[in-house]
Structure 1
Amino acid sequence: MVNSNNILAIFLRGLLMGVSDIMPGISGGTIALITGIYDRLIGSISNIKLMFLKPLLKGDLNGFKEQLLEEVDFEFFIPLCCGIALAMIIMAGIITFLLNNYGGFTYSFFAGLILASIVILYKQLDAFNIKAILITVIFAILGYIFVGLNPIQAAHSLPILFISGFIAICAMLLPGISGSSLLLLLGQYEYMINALHKFAISDIIVFIVGAGLGFMGMSRVIKYLLEHHKQETVAALIGIMLGSLRVPMTQIVTVPPESLIICLIIGIIGVVLVLAIDSKSHYELI
């Protein structure tokens, strides 16, 4: 018999993960660590081998059901995903309102979240040597230029949303790395927030499909890079997040000069929030 208390506990953790995932700078993976479900999350993901597709293709529905139940931890994924989805839908409305009415202040908070995440990633470096500095600088410049060119920001076509979901989910699975920060870099953050708020089904489905494939594929690539090239990978991630700061900064500079001190205070609150959350967890990126 399914334990209802256990389901509620997982659902509440999903709510916390959803709130963190939708804000640039806070990783859902970190929340999963703090709340004690990270190992089960990664283990449940790793257990999905898609072997249940074989009996389905052969028309063996009983075999499909048995294999599906063996691979997929529904008791865990259903309440977790429901919590994440509900939190994202609720938070999308709040963030849409804040971006539309207090854009500079909201982006100041995002900038603080991202800066704190950079500090967290820095702690994952084995040594901050010349090689790490060069990689960080190169990727920061590339990220900064990419944001300025914004080759895909104007395009919110379904293929672009698919790619964005594919990329963002890989970061969301790793503690200390925010998928929403990458969506900011890709110029898709505000668009997807609005899509969630307006419940644009086609956009959301395509994004989720891209995320699902990234979930199964690129997460393994990132794991390989962290296992075999951790120093270079973390340095590159730091650079990318530094480059992505161009997005909030372009919004912050539009704030009246007399309000800049408020932006600074809000940014500091963002930094403190993320560092306080991270202080509750102890982890290594592989």
Structure 2
Amino acid sequence: MHNNLASWIISFIKGMFIGSGAILPGVSGGALAAVFGIYEKLIQFISNIKKDFLYNILYFLPVGLGSLFGIVILARPIESLLVNHPVYILLFFMGCIFGTVPLLYAQAGIHGRTIKHLVLTILTAVISFILLVSANVFLDIQVAQTTFTWILVGMIFAFGFIVPGLSPSNFLIYMNLYEPLTGAIGDLNFSILIPVSFGIVLCVIIFSKLINHLMNLYYTTIFHFILGIVIASTVIIFPTMEQFSALTISEIIFAFILAALGLCLGLWMGKLETKYKSED
């Protein structure tokens, strides 16, 4: 019973990070799902929903509740922190993600790895970083807010889970739709949330089977590719010099303490994940 409760709480916390990460610019909900050892099971579940239905529902219930909490309850606080204290929240998330990277690295090599896979990870990280920097500098598009637009936003949001490393929040910022979406989440504006939800479901139905098929064929390659994207998309959220310049020395020290706490939390969660896998 104790183990079940502990496992439930850990799954809820993972879901909370995945949900809040999905709305944090530069962070991918799918990448965090991969980091926390949930991604593969999630893709298998949504691509063949009838298989082990009850078991999967019970397994993903705390993850789903945690994700909902992370998206709905934390949307406004995260938006506020990004405006008022960006260095604190960005460094904390960086610490959390890097703390769980060793687990993702181990998972990527569970079926073995070669030098080619490590080279793929490095190249993916470098190319992804360059593309992300370029997008941050050059992309700024004004998109009309229509029902079709919000369905498209839902599909982009879902892609952030189905394709690890893809940060939906970044795309929404480039399209100037990030603040309207987080505002709609905080205000429970269903005229926006309903088409967004429809887009999420549509994307999952269309692409989940394809991703699951590719995972079965190219597991090691895909996970090393994901690892490279996770590294790049985590490094890219490092605060700018302008953001640091607004802080005092003591505030900067506190920010790096938060990063260290995030790192410890990530490492702890990684160890717990390994422990529960070994017990299973």
Into which bin does the TM-score normalised by the smaller protein fall?
0.5 to 0.7
Does 2:96 align with 1:107? no
Question: For the structure 1 residues 10 and 108, does the alpha-carbon distance in structure 2 shift closer, same or farther, using more than 3 Å as the test?
Answer: closer
Which has the higher mean CA deviation after the structures are superposed, 138-147 or 250-259? 250-259
Q: How far did 1:237 drift? A: 0.5
Structure 1 partner of 2:3: none
Which has the higher mean CA deviation after the structures are superposed, 79-88 or 18-27? 79-88
For the pair shown, the structure with the greater C-alpha radius of gyration is 1
Tell me, in whole angstroms, the C-alpha distance in 1 between the residues paired with 2:234 and 2:7: 33
Question: For the structure 1 residues 203 and 138, does the alpha-carbon distance in structure 2 shift closer, same or farther, using more than 3 Å as the test?
Answer: farther
Q: Quick one: which of 116, 126, 133 aligns to 1:148?
A: 133
Preserved contact between residue 96 and residue 193 of structure 1 (Cα < 8 Å)? yes
Question: For the structure 1 residues 103 and 87, does the alpha-carbon distance in structure 2 shift closer, same or farther, using more than 3 Å as the test?
Answer: closer
The residue identity in structure 2 corresponding to 1:261 is I
Any idea what SS the aligned residue of 2:270 has? Answer: helix
Q: How far did 1:131 drift? A: 0.9
Tell me, in whole angstroms, the C-alpha distance in 2 between the residues paired with 1:32 and 1:138: 23
Any idea what SS the aligned residue of 1:47 has? Answer: coil
Structure 1 partner of 2:20: 23
Q: How far did 1:107 drift? A: 0.7
Structure 2 partner of 1:240: 229
Q: Quick one: which of 101, 117, 129 aligns to 1:132?
A: 117
Task: State TM-score, norm by structure 2.
Answer: 0.66
Q: How far did 1:152 drift? A: 6.1
Question: For the structure 1 residues 105 and 190, does the alpha-carbon distance in structure 2 shift closer, same or farther, using more than 3 Å as the test?
Answer: farther
Preserved contact between residue 93 and residue 259 of structure 2 (Cα < 8 Å)? yes
Does 2:201 align with 1:212? yes
Question: For the structure 1 residues 200 and 215, does the alpha-carbon distance in structure 2 shift closer, same or farther, using more than 3 Å as the test?
Answer: same
Tell me, in whole angstroms, the C-alpha distance in 2 between the residues paired with 1:185 and 1:210: 18
Q: How many residues align?
A: 246
Tell me, in whole angstroms, the C-alpha distance in 1 between the residues paired with 2:60 and 2:117: 40
Which has the higher mean CA deviation after the structures are superposed, 103-112 or 223-232? 223-232
Q: Deviation per CA, 1:149-198: give whole Å up to 9, x if none.
A: 32766456435513322312326xxxxx6x7x733554559644444223
The residue identity in structure 1 corresponding to 2:89 is T
Q: How far did 1:99 drift? A: 1.6
Q: How far did 1:122 drift? A: 1.0
Does 2:136 align with 1:182? no
Structure 2 partner of 1:52: none
Which has the higher mean CA deviation after the structures are superposed, 14-23 or 86-95? 14-23
Structure 1 partner of 2:101: 118
Structure 2 partner of 1:56: none
Preserved contact between residue 47 and residue 212 of structure 2 (Cα < 8 Å)? no
Q: Deviation per CA, 1:37-84: give whole Å up to 9, x if none.
A: x979965873359xxxxxxxxxxxxxxxxxxxxx899x8699765664
Report matched runs for 1:1-286 at 5 Å: 16=13, 18-24=15-21, 27=32, 46-48=48-50, 84-126=67-109, 127=112, 129-150=114-135, 154=141, 157-158=149-150, 160-170=152-162, 182-184=167-169, 186=171, 191=179, 192-251=181-240, 254-256=243-245, 258=249, 259-282=251-274, 283=277
Preserved contact between residue 185 and residue 244 of structure 1 (Cα < 8 Å)? no
Q: Deviation per CA, 1:247-270: give whole Å up to 9, x if none.
A: 421447621372433332211211
Tell me, in whole angstroms, the C-alpha distance in 1 between the residues paired with 2:59 and 2:210: 23
% identical equivalent positions: 16
Tell me, in whole angstroms, the C-alpha distance in 1 between the residues paired with 2:187 and 2:236: 23
Question: For the structure 1 residues 110 and 86, does the alpha-carbon distance in structure 2 shift closer, same or farther, using more than 3 Å as the test?
Answer: closer
Any idea what SS the aligned residue of 1:245 has? Answer: helix
Question: For the structure 1 residues 153 and 202, does the alpha-carbon distance in structure 2 shift closer, same or farther, using more than 3 Å as the test?
Answer: farther
Question: For the structure 1 residues 32 and 116, does the alpha-carbon distance in structure 2 shift closer, same or farther, using more than 3 Å as the test?
Answer: closer
Comparing both chains, which one has the higher relative contact order based on Cα–Cα distances under 8 Å and sequence gaps of 6 or more?
Answer: 2
Tell me, in whole angstroms, the C-alpha distance in 2 between the residues paired with 1:252 and 1:270: 21
Preserved contact between residue 92 and residue 261 of structure 2 (Cα < 8 Å)? yes
Question: For the structure 1 residues 103 and 120, does the alpha-carbon distance in structure 2 shift closer, same or farther, using more than 3 Å as the test?
Answer: same
Preserved contact between residue 108 and residue 267 of structure 1 (Cα < 8 Å)? yes
Which has the higher mean CA deviation after the structures are superposed, 78-87 or 210-219? 78-87
